[in-house]
Amino acid sequence: MYKKGGENKKKEENKKKKISKKMTLAIKVVKSKKSGYYTFENKMISNEEIETFFKKKNES
């Protein structure tokens, strides 16, 4: 026979270990310098990185 109490402790530890981040699919329109056409840049990023992704590259 096994103890049911041990299972509950393991489940609680596993819940504490799981840390999930909310991810967002960011789509940015970028104009090509060579051809002048617009392209799309797609990237899965966390919510904290959204502002840095959408900043222009020449802005620092």
Residues 6+ apart with CB under 8 A from 22: 46, 47
Evaluate if residue 60 carries a pLDDT over 50: no
Q: For 7-32, write each residue's pLDDT tens digit.
A: 666 666 666 666 667 889 999 999 98
- List the one residue out of 19, 17, 18, 26 whose CA is nearest residue 46: 26
Q: Considering the chain, what percentage of its residues have pLDDT values greater than 90?
A: 33
Evaluate if residue 42 carries a pLDDT over 90: yes
What is the domain partition of the chain in residue ranges? 23-48
Q: What pLDDT sits at residue 6? A: 57
More confident residue, 56 or 23: 23
